[in-house]
Structure 1
Amino acid sequence: MAVERQPNELPQVLVLSPPAIFTSLESQFSIRFHMLKPWDSKLPLLQFLTSYAQSVPAMLVVPGDRLLVNSAILDCLPSLKLVVTTSAGVDHLDVAELRRRRVAIAYAGNLFSQDVADMAVGLLIDVLRNVSAGDRFVRQGLWPTQGDFPLALKLSGKQIGIVGLGKIGTEVAKRLEGFGCKISYNSRTKKPTLPYPFYSDLHELAANCEALIICCGLTAETRHMIDRDVMVALGRDGVIVNIGRGAIVDETELVRRLIQGELGGAGLDVFENEPEVPKELFNLDNVVLSPHVAVLTTESMVGLTQLALGNLEAFFSNKPLVSPYVD
């Protein structure tokens, strides 16, 4: 899998787009690797790759730039043997094509699980207790003139459904147990070692819960999985929190039901067409919006940089990857 390092040569690593999350730590990469940066060139991306990246063996991918690592890009990189992504999800990678070409994949693994779980619970609390709405109420000077703020809902004792009980979903469940919540879940498979009720039918889960927290990854099967029927089952007072991927939820239907008062609220860190967010949500006090930052803490960025470096150094040293992606 690895390639031979020439004496006094830094190994080449292609970075498709500016890795903004590594700005303060870029020096750690530059002293170890020769970073190819297409954005510094005036050439179109594919032309740059064909001209300068024919022999590059490794690529660092930072999701969020809407670039899909697909056949068009891979055709320009005949020597590629490794893709390192800074994400726990791989929906921006054509995994099947990478496997066919025998290109290894390293990813963030469980690095972000605790941060994302914290955000999920934070969004749920915010929606139920009207924290952001109350902040606006005070800042806009409405407290002295309008008097009492509307009543909120408690979190303690709520029936919460978790969609996707992997590492993140399990961390969410642990946190909600501390609030005395009743946890149930839907996942690809039943988790026999966990005590929570399992629902193989997503609609049945929604019908038996007061809130759904979306923790699964985006695949062809999960796209728009939270559709109209699931929202109807959840009910008019139900809350949806999404820290997975925006397209798991039918966003058009979600917006419509929130506007019509057919859902109790939503806490959203992800959206279907980021960074575009439906403007209809901006004035809804029962909706909390976050710019896809559940994974972004100071601590997680330090850990992510170390993990990416570890995977690249393992590859160039012909050692096992630190966090290989397994289908």
Structure 2
Amino acid sequence: MPSKRLSVVVTRRLPDDVETRLSELFDVKLRDNDTPMTRGELLDAMQSADVLVPTLTDTIDAGLIGQAGDRLKLIANYGAGIDHIDVDTARTRGILVSNTPGVVTEDTADMVMALMLGVTRRIPEGLATMQEGAWNGWAPTAYLGHRIGGKRLGILGMGRIGQAVARRARAFGMQVHYHNRRRLRQETETALEATYWESLDQMLARMDVVSINCPHTPATFHLMNARRLALMKPSAVIVNTSRGEVIDENALVRRLRGGELAGAGLDVYERGTDTNPELRSLPNVVLLPHMGSATREGRLEMGEKVIINVKTFADGHRPPDQVLPSML
């Protein structure tokens, strides 16, 4: 007689192939619409399921975890970032947490380059002109931007994504610099032709473009604060595809508005969907709706990792992508 299947609750709509495979393997409750669950709905799910499959739009804090049912034994996050989950509290309750690392690396690095080019080459301005039917023909001084070849790129956070950005930047002829909690191994640094800066402040003062690729932790909250933004050259550009909380958004607006920074390309925001209206009004800013990992291939791979984590757990083993204390 087959053993009872795990009860799994999925908090958002996932790609059809992923939902179908989950349904084949487990007793799954899928989301009918693609809106985030309310706190009450999340609590109901956590009190009735063996496994919860949340996304970054779900805040799984200590209060919710404290009220979770005894059945809940795994939070299999659909995504790599886990700052929306109180992993420590989950661990004290005997609840494992897994994620989907490595899947979005190449997609996010592509978006870094897209934002970099979008800002420096004034692509949104040109696009708006064409869409409005306002183009009157080519002119020698129209829409002048800057080439990125030969420019210095400072990468803040040299993990998987930071290194993927470095490889792309070298292909564009940029000089790669980086600041990281730990210096890369010599062979990796050499392969990337990257210059390490122990001092973030010293690196920022010398860069033409700064790419934020570090996670959001208590240590990185407002890491790019007003003082550090002031260190950057007025001709410099900042790009952020990691977490919005890493940049003090109000300080960034002040410097952009005052001409003390040349531009910004942002895919993430300090207050989530509540974007600063002043950012939307600045011509030297490119804003995207958290599209960094939005490829069909990436979303399917994320789902496959979730399935592997849940299936491995169901078979009595530790999920391969379990989040451990040393990772936090």
- TM-score scaled to structure 2, two decimals? 0.89
Shift of 1:234: 0.9
Residue aligning to 1:144: 136
How many residues are treated as equivalent by the alignment? 316
Residue aligning to 2:206: 208
Provide the C-alpha distance between the structure 2 equivalents of 1:49 and 1:209, rounded to a whole number of angstroms.
Answer: 46
Between 1:84-93 and 1:54-63, the stretch displaced more is 54-63
**8 A Cα contact 2:149 2:173, kept in partner:** yes
Amino acid in structure 2 at the alignment position of 1:153: H
Give matches, 1:60-99, under 5 Å: 60-65=53-58, 67-99=59-91
**8 A Cα contact 2:221 2:245, kept in partner:** yes
Residue aligning to 2:306: 308
User: In the alignment, which of 20, 24, 28 is matched to residue 35 of structure 1?
Assistant: 28
CA displacement, residues 261-303 of structure 1 (integer Å, 9 cap, x when unaligned): 1110000000011212112122322111110010110111111
Q: 1:44 to 1:125 in 2, by over 3 A?
A: closer
Seq. identity, %? 29
Provide the C-alpha distance between the structure 2 equivalents of 1:261 and 1:91, rounded to a whole number of angstroms.
Answer: 33
Residue aligning to 2:231: 233
Amino acid in structure 2 at the alignment position of 1:224: H
Provide the C-alpha distance between the structure 2 equivalents of 1:180 and 1:44, rounded to a whole number of angstroms.
Answer: 47
Amino acid in structure 2 at the alignment position of 1:285: P
Residue aligning to 2:4: 9
Provide the C-alpha distance between the structure 1 equivalents of 2:42 and 2:290, rounded to a whole number of angstroms.
Answer: 30
Residue aligning to 1:199: 197
Provide the C-alpha distance between the structure 1 equivalents of 2:38 and 2:259, rounded to a whole number of angstroms.
Answer: 47
Residue aligning to 1:318: 316
**8 A Cα contact 1:216 1:244, kept in partner:** yes
Amino acid in structure 2 at the alignment position of 1:20: R
Shift of 1:8: 6.1
RMSD: 2.4
User: In the alignment, which of 152, 165, 172 is matched to residue 165 of structure 2?
Assistant: 172
Is residue 53 of structure 2 the alignment partner of residue 57 of structure 1?
no
Shift of 1:187: 0.8
Provide the C-alpha distance between the structure 1 equivalents of 2:47 and 2:225, rounded to a whole number of angstroms.
Answer: 44
User: In the alignment, which of 208, 213, 218 is matched to residue 216 of structure 2?
Assistant: 218
Provide the C-alpha distance between the structure 2 equivalents of 1:49 and 1:207, rounded to a whole number of angstroms.
Answer: 47
Q: 1:145 to 1:158 in 2, by over 3 A?
A: closer
Provide the C-alpha distance between the structure 2 equivalents of 1:128 and 1:24, rounded to a whole number of angstroms.
Answer: 38
Provide the C-alpha distance between the structure 2 equivalents of 1:221 and 1:44, rounded to a whole number of angstroms.
Answer: 29
Between 1:6-15 and 1:110-119, the stretch displaced more is 6-15
Q: 1:44 to 1:151 in 2, by over 3 A?
A: closer
**8 A Cα contact 1:80 1:103, kept in partner:** yes
**8 A Cα contact 1:224 1:247, kept in partner:** yes
Structure 2: runs of 5 or more not aligned: none
Between 1:26-35 and 1:242-251, the stretch displaced more is 26-35
Give matches, 1:121-160, under 5 Å: 121-144=113-136, 149-160=142-153
Provide the C-alpha distance between the structure 2 equivalents of 1:54 and 1:236, rounded to a whole number of angstroms.
Answer: 53
Structure 1: runs of 5 or more not aligned: 1-5
Amino acid in structure 2 at the alignment position of 1:62: T
Shift of 1:174: 0.5
Provide the C-alpha distance between the structure 2 equivalents of 1:12 and 1:27, rounded to a whole number of angstroms.
Answer: 15
CA displacement, residues 38-65 of structure 1 (integer Å, 9 cap, x when unaligned): 889xx97548846x75463221111124
CA displacement, residues 132-163 of structure 1 (integer Å, 9 cap, x when unaligned): 21111222223218955231100101101000
Shift of 1:173: 0.3
Provide the C-alpha distance between the structure 1 equivalents of 2:31 and 2:130, rounded to a whole number of angstroms.
Answer: 47
Q: 1:45 to 1:281 in 2, by over 3 A?
A: closer
SS in 2 for 1:165: coil
